[in-house]
Amino acid sequence: MTTPTPEFHLRTVAETVASRSAAEPEFLQAVNEVLETLHPVLAEHPEFMEAGVLDRLVEPERQLIFRVPWTDDSGQVRVNRGYRVQFNSALGPYKGGLRFHPSVNLSVVKFLGFEQIFKNALTSQRIGGGKGGSDFDPSGKSDAEVMRFCQSFMMELVHHIGEDTDIPAGDIGVGAREIGYLFGQYRRITQRYESGVLTGKGVGWGGAEVRTEATGYGAVFFAEEMLARAGEGIAGRRAIVSGSGNVATYAIEKIQQLGGTPITASDSSGYIVDEAGIDVDLLKQVKEVERARISVYADRRPSARFVSGGSVWEVTGELAFPCATQNELDANHARSLVAGGLRAVAEGANMPTTPEAVEIFQQAGVLFAPGKAANAGGVATSALEMRQNAARSRWDRDTSESRLHDIMRDVHNSTYEASERYGRPGDYVLGANSAAFVTVAQAMLAQGVI
């Protein structure tokens, strides 16, 4: 057998995925973004091509689609679709969140699961990659409806998860409330208090300190490291943040703690600009406690204005933290941000920046941290939660935050070092993809063709 050239191999893999998954645009986008950076790794490691590592990596080990019937408050039967994609377990049990949002389909779950393999590898926590969710929309539903939906979802999911098999967590639309209902049903069906089967639990019953904050804090820690390498910092800088959920809220909180000024937040109804700096307590009150629309923040804060519809990326600043959803920041936004003096982007969300926008940032010399590195703090802290569950122990808040900080520093350093090793110092996209790929590929190689 002759070894193909990296170009030929990458093109063949891309063509196979494109023909097999033609109707899955988000998944294709995520795969192509990785393939475009792997040439130098394959040139160094022809054995990965000989063992068909990439051919196997782009195909999930297992994908499940199931019916989720539930009854709404008026007694009407509703049916949603549930998903769990168990993508790759070479490094450990599948690990990745559940997303409840009307836009969820197989393409979205597969893109998220594929990204998760790389992200989890970067954390060095020995966890494989998976993702799941449903097209169920929790907004506007009563607590009782959300509970009945979660219970029905778990009736099927229970057959496929376990603390050594697959450990789901939260994502868009799945927070502590949903994880509580899911865990309660798992415990009831199995008659086992298997704490490590889900992460993102309440701190009083097996959850880890700082898990709620971890993704947002971690993205800011990553930005801090990236800026520090360039002799710069966060203090004194205006930051644009999108979203107002779990990731955005705690990114805003940490930016403020480090002396920066976050001036925006958004949801699917529009965005707010608060030149005085976001009042985090008010934001939490509106979004976490009242589950209200973001406009309510501006109603209560004289220094803020609400812009209905539109994109928060119309506003400019020196730092950008996209923390809402995929493909929210496009080429036009990127051009306007660069013209407005943007210095660094750290993705709190998964794939929020389109490929064209990433290119514009990189060509303009803007520091750019891809989500699979910058938002790895959430899953890393989930892995710490699993370790505490296994040891039946609980770390205090300071210990938990300092471990998160250490992990994000390590993720930054290994990503940067890989960007140097493979010839493009400071290209964090190439660095994250290649560092993670080498880790997963070596494990797959060692474990044979499975």
* Residue 324 binds to ligand NDP (criterion: CB under 6 A): yes
Which range in 23-31, 222-230, 321-329, 439-447 contacts ligand NDP by CB under 6 A? 321-329
Helix/strand/coil for 133: strand
Question: Residue 260: which of 221, 203, 313, 213 has the closest Cα?
Answer: 221
Structure-block tokens of residue 33: 């973004």
* Residue 260 binds to ligand NDP (criterion: CB under 6 A): no
Q: How far is the CB of 159 from ligand NDP (least distance, A)?
A: 25
* Residue 349 binds to ligand NDP (criterion: CB under 6 A): yes
Tell me which DSSP letter residue 81 carries: E
Residue choice 130, 243, 262, 317 for contact with ligand NDP (CB under 6 A): 243
Q: How far is the CB of 420 from ligand NDP (least distance, A)?
A: 26
Question: Residue 243: which of 170, 134, 320, 188 has the closest Cα?
Answer: 320
* Count of chain residues binding ligand NDP (CB under 6 A): 22
Contact predicate 27/16, CB 8 Å = no
Which range in 57-65, 183-191, 225-233, 240-248 contacts ligand NDP by CB under 6 A? 240-248
Pairing of the two strands 166-169 and 128-134:
unpaired
Placement of tokens 């210990």 in the chain:
399
Position with the least CB separation from ligand NDP: 245
- Please state at what angle helix 355-363 crosses helix 25-35, rounded to 10 degrees: 30
Beta bridge partners of 71: 77
* Complex with ligand NDP: residue 42 or 349, whichever CB lies closer: 349
Contact predicate 54/13, CB 8 Å = yes
Q: Where are the alpha helices (DSSP H) in 85-162?
A: 106-122, 143-157
Residue from 110, 119, 131, 372 carrying the catalytic annotation: 131
Q: How far is the CB of 328 from ligand NDP (least distance, A)?
A: 7
Residue type, 306: F
Placement of tokens 């010839």 in the chain:
423
Question: Residue 382: which of 116, 101, 57, 63 has the closest Cα?
Answer: 116
Residue type, 218: G
Give phi and psi for 307, each to the nearest 5: -115, 115
* Complex with ligand NDP: residue 265 or 441, whichever CB lies closer: 265
* Complex with ligand NDP: residue 103 or 362, whichever CB lies closer: 103
CA distances from 408 to 6, 20, 55, 214 (A): 31, 36, 30, 10
* Complex with ligand NDP: residue 257 or 268, whichever CB lies closer: 268
Which range in 61-69, 145-153, 246-254, 428-436 contacts ligand NDP by CB under 6 A? 246-254
Q: How far is the CB of 148 from ligand NDP (least distance, A)?
A: 20
* Complex with ligand NDP: residue 152 or 375, whichever CB lies closer: 375
Contact positions with ligand NDP (CB under 6 A) in 170-189: 170-173
d(CA 324, CA 96): 17
Contact predicate 30/114, CB 8 Å = yes
Contact positions with ligand NDP (CB under 6 A) in 263-282: 267-268
Query: How many CB atoms lie under 10 A from the CB of residue 29?
Result: 16
Q: How far is the CB of 267 from ligand NDP (least distance, A)?
A: 3
Q: Positive or negative, the Cα torsion across 188, 193, 197, 199?
A: positive
Q: How many CA atoms lie within 13 A of 358 on its CB side?
A: 18
Q: How far is the CB of 269 from ligand NDP (least distance, A)?
A: 6
Contact positions with ligand NDP (CB under 6 A) in 198-237: 215
* Complex with ligand NDP: residue 6 or 243, whichever CB lies closer: 243
d(CA 400, CA 210): 6
* Complex with ligand NDP: residue 6 or 170, whichever CB lies closer: 170
Contact positions with ligand NDP (CB under 6 A) in 370-409: 375, 378
* Complex with ligand NDP: residue 6 or 200, whichever CB lies closer: 200
Residue choice 128, 348, 370, 431 for contact with ligand NDP (CB under 6 A): 348
Active site (annotated) includes residue 287: no
Q: How far is the CB of 445 from ligand NDP (least distance, A)?
A: 28
Lay out the site mask for ligand NDP across 152-171 (x = CB under 6 A, - = otherwise). ------------------xx
d(CA 372, CA 46): 25
Q: How far is the CB of 100 from ligand NDP (least distance, A)?
A: 8
Q: Any idea which residues carry the catalytic annotation?
A: 131
Where along the sequence are the contacts to ligand NDP (CB under 6 A)? 103, 170-173, 215, 243-248, 267-268, 323-325, 348-350, 375, 378
